[in-house]
Amino acid sequence: MVKYAFLLILALLLASVFYFHQKAAQMESLVVSLEDENNTLRLALQQRPDETDRQGAVEESAPPASNIVLTVTAYTAPPSKHHPKKKQVKKRLTASGAKPIRGAIAVSRDLFEQGWGFGKKVYIRDHGLFTITDLMHSRITRTIDIYMDKKEEAIQFGKKQLEVLLLDV
């Protein structure tokens, strides 16, 4: 009886190892495809001509250019607070309901109202690709805030005027 129980446990362990090995391979494949997509976007952005290089007038039917110069700052979320009277920890979430992570940005509400919505990708020249997950206070305009894990990093980043591109992907 013990022998069969041992064989059953061994079979379950082998099945779970096989299952997790498959899942790890799928995740690795997903990461590779995301890296390829990121590289493709970078190449497309590098090959795109600057606004200053264009000759002639822009047709009125053409959509407005997405390359704009905005104020870019950095922020970090304060640590989660544990309330002694409550059993749960208050977790920090962004305006979209997601947990703040590296690669996430907050946009000013004027940009949000112009179509810079949650989940959209933004390329910031010399800094990379980011996803919009949060909103800034309504008094702030024409600004993007990059989430950083450490307060020191955010302070060191400071305030910059950078070229930004909203990607339609």
What total of structural domains would you count in the chain? 2
Quickly tell me which residue has 């993007």 as its tokens.
144
Q: What is the pLDDT of residue 104?
A: 92
Q: Give the range of the structural domain holding residue 96, as residue numbers without chain letter.
A: 66-81+88-167
Q: Are 35 and 76 part of one and the same domain? A: no
For residue 164, what are the CA distances in angstroms to 64, 65, 126?
14, 11, 10
18-21 contacts, C-beta under 8 A, 24 or more apart: none
Q: Are 25 and 105 part of one and the same domain? A: no
Please check whether residue 143 is in contact with residue 122, taking contact to mean a CB–CB distance below 8 angstroms.
Answer: no
Write the burial class of residue 127 (CB in 10 Å: 0-12 exposed, 13-18 middle, 19+ buried). Answer: middle
Q: Are 71 and 154 part of one and the same domain? A: yes
Q: What is the pLDDT of residue 163?
A: 92
Q: What is the pLDDT of residue 3?
A: 79
pLDDT tens by residue, the chain, 169 residues:
877 888 888 888 888 877 877 777 777 766 666 666 666 666 666 665 554 444 333 333 334 445 889 999 999 887 666 656 665 555 677 888 888 888 999 999 999 998 898 999 999 988 989 999 999 998 999 999 999 988 999 999 999 999 999 987 5
Residue 54 in domain: no
Q: Are 42 and 116 part of one and the same domain? A: no
